[in-house]
Amino acid sequence: MQRQPKRTGENERVGKTVQVEIVSPTPRTYKTRVRVTHEQPRKIPTTAYKIVSGAKVPVSTRAIIQRINRVLVKDGRQVKTARSIHVQLDCGKYFVIDVRNNAISRHDVSLEELATVLEVLQPYEEIRD
């Protein structure tokens, strides 16, 4: 059993020359001597972060539309957003079109319901504009 050196608050090698082995992407290995100029950074303990239970991750509307469209493209459909007030009155704010027939297949689509059905919105996510 090897004996571990006693660790102190400061790095004992600062200011001293040590041998370092450098491994490159090529099959060669280089050995060189370098001077240690600073301590190695200390790791932050993971207990410093607190996970809030029940908190939901915000997802933008645009990201949800992209996720939905990635699933619907397999069936030749897309979700579109109404650009004008006239289209919004006729079709709703979001609607699904059939790309092959160039026809509207669903009016007044709720993004949250459609994303949940297609399983692109996780239970810990919520849609925010």
Amino acid at 88: Q
Which tens digits make up the pLDDT trace of 26-84?
A: 555 556 665 555 555 555 555 444 556 677 889 999 999 999 999 999 999 999 999 99
Q: Which residues lie below 8 Å from residue 99, measured CB to CB, with a gap of 6+?
A: 76, 77, 78
What's this model's pTM, rounded to 2 decimal places?
0.59
Partners of 33 in beta bridges: 19
- Residues counted in the chain: 129
Domain boundaries, the chain: 57-128
Count other C-beta atoms under 10 Å from residue 65's C-beta: 19
CA separation for the pair 95, 79 (Å, rounded): 6
SS3 sequence of the chain: CCCCCCCCCCCCCCCCEEEEEEECCCCCEEEEEEECCCCCCCCCCHHHCCCCCCCCEEEEHHHHHHHHHHHHHHHCEEEEECCCHHHHHHHCCEEEEECCCCEEEECCCCHHHHHHHCCCCCCCEEEEC
Which tens digits make up the pLDDT trace of 82-122?
A: 999 999 999 999 999 999 999 999 999 999 999 999 999 99
Predicted pLDDT at 7: 52
Give the residue among 86, 106, 84 at the shortest CA–CA distance from 97. Answer: 106
CA separation for the pair 38, 33 (Å, rounded): 15
